[in-house]
């Protein structure tokens, strides 16, 4: 059921003045802004059902890569394939850092999860049960009928994770989902996320700026170079699952963490 993701020699160039042409440009030749290369020559293959974290400096094109996978934008060169097919038909789940702006403030927690069911045309009679089920899986059953705006940051983000899973995506993309949360909360979030991921086996990509988080969650850490971004190194994380917080102090964890850090420093030079 899980899908493999292949990113083949991707290049993404942003044309700066695109779309911003004014009438003046019709009579006066305007110098177009310099095109900006966000990604250049990124190739990587992600195993079906694996958990990959993406670790790279600011501006290395991590969010750009997600936009391309989600089909919100086209690569300038190269292709993205899911199980050997064009990614355009794949179902994508997305969790943003900014849950306040990506969720429906005017609905309840469960109402937000229901949106995913409405989107994939589940018969309405089943909505309540399925949505509640996903909320319970992230431990948010007790806030189901609270208005979304009244939830704490951690609760809100868990609800948005529940929504992403309720959409039953082929690929789950998470762009720094926990970076606005405190340490304690993000630990709880990681556990909830891993539990759900282990249950569903959805191929997951997770952008992180926290090296401990990146290593702890992953089967493999995709380290990107500074701009223009490409793959610096794929670092395998051979730690047993299920993960537990005590592993954060394990020597094996530290060894992997140091390798990731070394690659990161190499890529940022």
Partner 1 sequence: MNKLRALLRTRSFYAVAGPTAFVILWWVLSYWNNSAADPLVPKLFISTPDQVWNSFWEQVTTTDTGATSSLFEAVVDTLRRLVAGFAIAAVIGVPIGLAMGYFTRVYYSLEFFVDFLRSIPAAAIFPLFILIFGIGDPSIISVVTYACVLIIVVNTIYGVRSVKELRLMSAKIMRLGRLDMFRKIILPESLPYIFAGLRIAISYGMVIVIFSEMFIGTDSGLGRRIIDAQTVYRISDMYVSIVLTGLIGYLLNKLALLAERRIIHWEGK
Ligand X SMILES: Nc1ncnc2c1ncn2[C@@H]1O[C@H](COP(=O)(O)OP(=O)(O)OP(=O)(O)O)[C@@H](O)[C@H]1O
Interacting stretch for ligand X, rule CB under 6 A, among 51-59, 98-106, 186-194, 254-262? 51-59
Give the C-alpha separation, 40 to 45, whole Å.
16
Q: How far is the CB of 205 from partner 1 (least distance, A)?
A: 14
Pick one of 46, 62, 208, 223: the residue that binds ligand X (CB under 6 A): 62
Pick one of 18, 21, 32, 72: the residue that binds partner 1 (CB under 8 A): 72
Both tokens assigned to 176: 């720094």
Please list every residue from 11 through 50 that binds ligand X, using CB under 6 A.
14, 36, 38
Pick one of 150, 152, 179, 244: the residue that binds partner 1 (CB under 8 A): 150
Residues contacting 25, CB < 8 A, separation 6+: none
Complex with ligand X: residue 63 or 185, whichever CB lies closer: 63
Say whether residue 21 binds partner 1 (CB under 8 A): no
Continuous H helices in 173-226: 183-200, 211-217
**DSSP label at 32?**
P
Q: How far is the CB of 232 from partner 1 (least distance, A)?
A: 28
268 touches 226 (CB < 8 A): yes
Give the C-alpha separation, 81 to 69, whole Å.
9
Q: How far is the CB of 46 from ligand X (least distance, A)?
A: 17
Complex with ligand X: residue 62 or 127, whichever CB lies closer: 62
Give the C-alpha separation, 122 to 175, whole Å.
27
Closest by CA to 159, choosing from 179, 180, 143, is 143
Binding site for ligand X (CB under 6 A): 14, 36, 38, 56, 58-64, 227
Binding site for Mg ion (CB under 5 A): 63
């Amino acid at each position: 059921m899980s899908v493999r993701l292949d990113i083949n020699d991707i290049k993404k160039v942003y044309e700066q003045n695109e779309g911003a042409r004014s009438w003046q440009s019709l009579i006066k030749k305007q110098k177009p802004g310099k095109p900006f290369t966000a990604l250049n020559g990124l190739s990587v293959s992600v195993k079906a059902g694996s958990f990959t974290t993406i670790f790279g400096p600011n501006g290395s094109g991590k969010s750009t890569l997600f936009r391309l996978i989600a089909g919100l934008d086209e690569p300038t060169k190269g292709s993205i394939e899911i199980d050997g097919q064009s990614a355009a038909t794949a179902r994508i789940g997305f969790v943003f850092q900014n849950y306040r702006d990506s969720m429906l403030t005017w609905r309840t927690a469960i109402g937000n999860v229901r949106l995913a069911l409405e989107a994939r045309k589940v018969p309405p009679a089943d909505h309540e049960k399925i949505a509640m089920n996903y909320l319970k899986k992230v431990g948010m059953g007790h806030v189901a009928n609270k208005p979304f705006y009244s939830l704490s940051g951690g609760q809100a983000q868990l609800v948005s994770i529940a929504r992403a899973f309720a959409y039953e995506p082929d690929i789950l993309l998470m762009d720094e989902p926990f970076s606005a949360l405190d340490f304690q909360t993000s630990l709880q979030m990681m556990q909830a996320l891993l539990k759900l991921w282990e249950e569903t086996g959805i191929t997951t990509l997770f952008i992180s700026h926290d090296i401990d988080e990146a290593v702890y969650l992953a089967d493999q850490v995709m380290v990107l170079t500074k701009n223009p971004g490409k793959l610096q190194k794929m670092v395998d994380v051979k730690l047993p699952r299920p993960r537990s917080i005590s592993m954060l102090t394990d020597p094996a964890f530290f060894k992997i963490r140091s390798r990731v850090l070394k690659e990161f420093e190499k890529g940022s030079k």
